[in-house]
Structure 1
Amino acid sequence: MIITFALMLIMIPFFWLFVTILHFPPLFIITLSIVGIFWPIFPAIAGHLLIYSLFLSLMFYMFLLRLIDSPDICDSVLRLISKSKANHNLISFDSPLEDSDVLQERREVNAVLQNKHKSPILLIHGLTKVFRKSRLFGLLPSDSTPEIAVNKFEENVWKLCEYIANNESNCLNDCFVVFISNEQKMIPLWRQKAGDERRDYLCVWDYHVFIGFFYFCFKFSKYFHSTGSHRALVYDMDSTLEFSLDFSTYSGLTFRDETAIRDEYHRRFRVIEAQIYLTTFASNRSHMRRPDDSWIKDPPLYPCIKTNECDHNLDGFISMDCHRFAIGSVLDINQFNHQFDPKS
């Protein structure tokens, strides 16, 4: 009995941690404690130690789940990882550019959720990802790779899609290519590498392209039923922001408030599945030439991207007329924000 009382005193800080800070259900914790104290089958010291060891293991396990599933904590960790100077290819927890074992785990978890099964696999994989975070190395080429060309948005994105398809093909289903433009071909975007530093890197493009990636964010209700929602990361090679950034942060800093922008500068978005973009996009690079046929900037070293059907359809992707060019969906900024961030 003395040992039980001593163990209870030791457990008080853990009760306080999990109830007041991490907001776990007190009834759940108290029930486990009572079971441990009055367990009739194991009156010996070894029995008590076994019960409390299991209890502590469960609490630590739940703590890790809370850590990985907290959006605030997760976002902070993602930002720290993306700023890491030790390895510039380290991307994020749920990036399409990560360790294949982790990706397979995420696909299994998503399959369980889509089938609406309540399964321990949700907890097991959530814990496993924590221990594997040090192995999440990206597959992207570095900035010095010749295939990455300055201000060649559509081709850079195509090459990135190709890279993902060749290395982690199953992830391509979760990736989307986004073209931004409007009828006047004048779209203001902030935090652009080519922008004016005095105006928070504002640049008015004729069009712009980036990749969005959907992943599933786990949450647990107070009774530990698994729930969750899809979130999005943005990969924009021409932004001064972090390369792997949550959509809500990227949107707020890059697009700003549409109501404060004149109508002729309002942005429209063409959203295309990455797999479709890979098989339909074509460019003969004619838009990269001057009237005298000289290059505005040196073209990429690899051949022009073509399909069996055509050798140039970039204008169709840039066009925000869905009747003229039917690939993808054309959205205004409110529809676009809601699709990538339902809470917006």
Structure 2
Amino acid sequence: MKAKCVRFHKFGEPQHVLQVEDRNVQSPGTGEVLVRMIARPINPSDLIPIKGAYSHRIGLPTIPGYEGVGIVEEVGPSVSKSLIGTRVLPLRGEGTWQEFVKTSAELAVPIPDFINNATAAQLYINPITAWLTCTEVLGLQPGDDVLVNACGSSIGRIFAQLSAVLRFRLIAVTRSEAYTEDLIRLGASHVINTSNTSLYPAVMEITHGRGVKAAIDSIGGSAGIDAAYCVRPNGSLLSIGLLSGIPINWSKIIENTQVNVRMFHLRHWNEQASAQIWQATFRRVIELIHNKQLKLMAPSLQFDLSDVTKAVQAAESHENTGKILLTSKMYTEG
């Protein structure tokens, strides 16, 4: 069987190097499932590798896409046929920007009926990263002061909601007043708009001169440095992204600030998490959604998989108004 996929054969700007191609779909092997994809979001973490940031560990040609939702079409030997027709997240297998994805059955995450396709497609990168950083990596406790930059983003809004769940005090950092009301409503204690307010004095005033216990940086560059200087001595700066594309000399920051700098990469957690822990972590996030303690942003636009060039152009130019989805013809909101 042949099906559509998106591939890149060289690194470069996504709108220039991504190609829609046909590929042969192989039947699932032992312990695997074949999933017919419904929808996949476009994340910065999908686009950055296409540009060549991690070229040392990416073999070409390759199919991008780390998350998405689909329906089990076929199961391999040793896998229960009862899975056929169920909705799952086919993660940690092949790239999701294709019509069919193979993955390990024990890693396929079942999606309950109360979660729609648009939400299900986004359940991995941002929610799992936010949950793990708050609970496992930083071990945040009620009353802890935590600074998060780029907080108008999809993951920033998740951190705001988790601050209400875990009862830490979130200082949300943005570059626009447009996000303030929403972030306060979602759970943030304070919002600092750095387009009109200096970050360090504002944080020192909020924390009575102590600084924050932890800062979570998604940006790098000058914004990451500014966040580090807001952390109290022996506190933690956790880097989870590099939206600016500008790396930081963290050893120099450690020397100047006495801050513990750590990096979080979801793929490293994946490598050491058992299938049981993997599934349990998703069940916890799904429980938060069921209890209405967590709500993901609705997608702002959707494009058919074959229109990937237009989709990535939209993803790189739009504001934080929701993810761009790459969908298949069967896509529905429900």
Fold match, TM over 0.5?
A: no
- TM-score normalized with structure 2 length: 0.23
Greater Rg by CA: 1
- TM-score normalized with structure 1 length: 0.23
More helix per residue: 1
More strand per residue: 2
Bigger relative contact order (CA 8 A; separation at least 6): 2
